[in-house]
Amino acid sequence: MDIPFGLQDLITNRDLNNKISHPLFIFKNQTRRSINAHSFDQRIRLFEEHNLSKPQFWQLGSKRRSDDVGIVQENQLPREIVLATIMLLGGTPVVLYGEEIGLNQKSFPLMPWKSAGEYRGFSSCSVNSTNNCKSFISSLQTRNPTTSVKRQEALGGKSKDSLLTVYRHLSKLREYESFQFGLLEYGYDSSSNIFWFIREAPGHRGYVTVLNLNQDPDEIAHISLYDLSKTDVPSRVHYEYQWPKAHLPTSREAHIDSDNLFIHSQSVNIFWWGAKLQKPNIFFKTAKEHSQNH
């Protein structure tokens, strides 16, 4: 098991044996079904319905542990969507070395800091270096990487060119109270292939993350997020973040009608609203009781 730096003392062998660190997707055989809003929901709901221990750590799904990254790619689910989910759901995200820039090497990867050079800026080791240096470098996968930190930080490209930019934005969002200890509410809509989840802490801004998992680039979902969430999401929200492109007003002062939204395919959409007068758990319970009685 590959343990991320800084977590060696936090994740014990007992934790690993109890499997509290879970890849977002697990396939027990070679049958690789399409990943859609329903399967997204079922994967998370599994821990509640079957009395399994809820994961304390969500993992992007590294090839260094399993073939989950390959599975995600084959089903055309962007890494950015998986990353947004594990970074913003409850629990602690586990992002292994190099995954923040989309590094694909299976094991012992070389971190490419720049796009050129013998070792892409990872090491100054050369033909005149010591044997220890050469031995260490030879243990790494040094074949040409498809990306580098410098390339991901380059200006003028498209948002799809930089997973690192997405990772940094999501890391900032995790500093907010609702993502640190807020309640989690989630759901999906099969007809539009939309999966959404809410994070909200009492007395703090609430956030909803909306994922359109439709693979057809021309299939834009027209939804009422207000209705889908059974009014857990207020009718007026504000823009926080969209990937790969912002299609809505980005001013934080502008109000967005959650009852009438276009959500583009293969996209991440995050909205926020001000602190509610009611505590979120009471608000969720009241809304659900109201919907069941009508």
- Say if residues 176 and 29 touch (Cβ distance below 8 Å): no
pLDDT on residue 129? 57
Cα distance between residue 135 and residue 30, in whole Å: 37
Strands of the sheet with 92-94, listed across from one edge: 21-23, 57-59, 92-94
Looking from the CA of 43 toward its CB, the CA atoms found within 13 Å total 19
For every one of its 294 residues, what pLDDT tens digit does the chain have, with 9 covering 90 and above? 333 333 334 444 454 444 444 555 544 444 556 678 998 888 777 756 555 555 555 555 444 444 444 445 554 578 888 889 888 987 777 777 777 887 765 566 677 777 766 666 566 665 555 566 656 566 555 566 677 788 888 866 666 678 888 999 999 999 999 998 888 899 999 999 999 999 999 889 999 999 999 988 888 999 999 999 987 899 999 999 999 988 998 888 899 999 999 999 999 999 999 998 665 566 566 555 545 555
Burial classification of residue 216, based on how many CB atoms lie within 10 Å of its CB (0-12 exposed, 13-18 middle, 19 or more buried):
exposed
Segment 228-257, tens digit of pLDDT: 998 789 999 999 999 998 899 888 889 999
Which domains, from first to last, does the chain contain?
13-97 (no CATH), 176-292 (2.60.40.1180)
Beta strands in 137-254 (DSSP E): 183-189, 194-200, 206-212, 221-223, 236-243
Q: Report in angstroms the alpha-carbon separations of 261 from 22, 223, 226, 266, 269.
A: 33, 5, 10, 15, 11
pTM over 0.85: no
Q: Residue 112: what pLDDT?
A: 75
Q: Quick: pLDDT tens for 102-154.
A: 776 556 667 777 776 666 656 666 555 556 665 656 655 556 667 778 888 88
CB 236 within 8 A of CB 269: no
